[in-house]
Amino acid sequence: MILHDLISFEVLRLIWWALLGVLLIGFALTDGFDMGVGALLPFVGKTDVERRVVINTIGPVWEGNQVWFILGGGAIFAAWPPLYAVSFSGFYLAMFAILAALILRPVGFKYRSKRDSATWRSSWDWALFVGGAAPALLFGVAVGNVLLGVPFHLTEDLMPMYDGSFYGKFLGLLRPFALLCGVVSLSMLIMHGAAWLSVKTKGMVAFRAQRIGTVAGMVAAAGYALAGLWLAFGIDGFHITSEIVKDGPSNPLFKDVAHEGSWLIAYTERPWILIAPILGFTGIFMAVRGLREGFEVSTFLWSKLAILGVISSVGLTMFPFILPSTVDPRSSLTVWDSSSSHLTLFVMLVATVIFLPIILAYTAWVYKVLWGKVTEDDVTSSHSAY
């Protein structure tokens, strides 16, 4: 027996669908609070020293947190090539905007305190705000567009063709439902950043973060509920109407898809997935409660649970779809017909089993070493502080 035959093609596809979700959730849990802190920076820090305190809560960890983003992109490229091809061709202007915003962060961290000028430092503070808020918003907009469907089709030789206009590659993505998803994403990560600041700071910085984070959490809960109602009554879902071959060749054109009904029919077919939105709402509610009452570590953990639930609910609701097509529903990409080969998925899984625990162990060690609050004395007395 060939080694990779020990795990069937169907199971490997499921594993890599789940691992892609794990990597994206890992990115939101870690780099998410970095983005939230950046979005909060101009509002929770009123003096230069306070803003330096805020920056130094994420300064030592933000770069490592972006490993999850790189791993997620790499997993899409290697495990789901059609998804990578369609998303990077159709969304490239939006992705360029995200990358441009993310680039502002390292530059802002390094250059902000190079000059003792209030105008100079304030300008970089707002650049860090953009570097946190813009990706948080646009990632949510991207999720909203995936739920709505993307205008692409596959040719007979499986070449992906994006049918949207040049205008549609950015401004056309800013549809009302997608913008609502962007608001949910931004407000949820602001809540997450506030929870982080409540752990890492004290005094007025922590107080302001808790106050803003409470409002952001309520906005996230209301937006999440509204998005669910919108999906139930205002947006058509996608459903496979032909026989599903789970271990066949990766050819999306071998199936038939209907663009009708509701995405939420998934909850009648698989009632157990209701756990995801329950976790999302519970996490948000408890995080808001923790921020209002001044809890620290527990609030941050509840905030993580909220992110886990919200993101999981999207993937579980859409399953087995990964990227549906509005132009030619038959071209929609699913877990069963858009993966790499059996051997490729197996080799990648072996590498993941080896290296993912190492990454997790190193990350845990870093946070253990850096545990504790950042104070004004820390940033004013240290030559290595930002």
pLDDT beyond 80 at 89: no
Tell me the pLDDT band of 158, cut-offs 50, 70 and 90. confident
For residue 1, give Cα distances in angstroms to 4, 12, 345, 348, 351.
8, 17, 17, 19, 21
Rg (CA), the chain: 22
Largest Cα–Cα distance of the chain, in whole Å?
69
Question: Is residue 385 scored above 90 in pLDDT?
Answer: no
How far is residue 162's CA from residue 323's CA, in Å, rounded to a whole number? 13
Contacts of 359 (CB under 8 A, 6+ apart): 67, 71
Q: What is the pLDDT of residue 72?
A: 86
Average pLDDT on 262-278 reads 94
Q: From CA 133, how far away is CA 36, in angstroms rounded? A: 7
What is the arithmetic mean of pLDDT over 242-255? Answer: 90
Confidence of residue 166 (pLDDT cuts 50, 70, 90): low
Query: CA of 320: how far to CAs of 23, 90, 266, 295, 336, in Å?
Result: 18, 21, 10, 39, 7
- CA separation for the pair 236, 226 (Å, rounded): 16
Phi, psi of 13 (to 5 degrees): -65, -40
Residue 104 tokens read as 């502002």
Q: For residue range 9-18, list pLDDT tens digits in order.
A: 999 999 999 9
Which residue, 24, 15, 13, is CA-closest to 74?
A: 24
Q: Tell me the pLDDT band of 161, cut-offs 50, 70 and 90.
A: confident
**Please, are residues 330 and 256 in contact by the beta-carbon 8 Å criterion?**
yes
Mean pLDDT of 373-377: 85
Q: Report pLDDT digits (tens) over 26-51.
A: 999 999 999 999 999 999 999 999 99
Domain ranges of the chain: 3-381
Q: Under 8 Å CB-to-CB from 30, ≥6 apart: which residues?
A: 61, 64, 65, 68, 363
How far is Cα 342 from Cα 226, in angstroms, rounded to an integer?
40
> Tokens representing 64?
């490592």
Q: How far apart are CA 295 and CA 50, in angstroms?
A: 21
pLDDT exceeds 90 at position 335? yes
Angle at 19 between CA 18 and CA 23, to 5 degrees: 120
Q: In terms of Cα–Cα distance, which of 193, 213, 200, 212 is closest to 50?
A: 200
- Is 1 a residue whose pLDDT tops 60? no
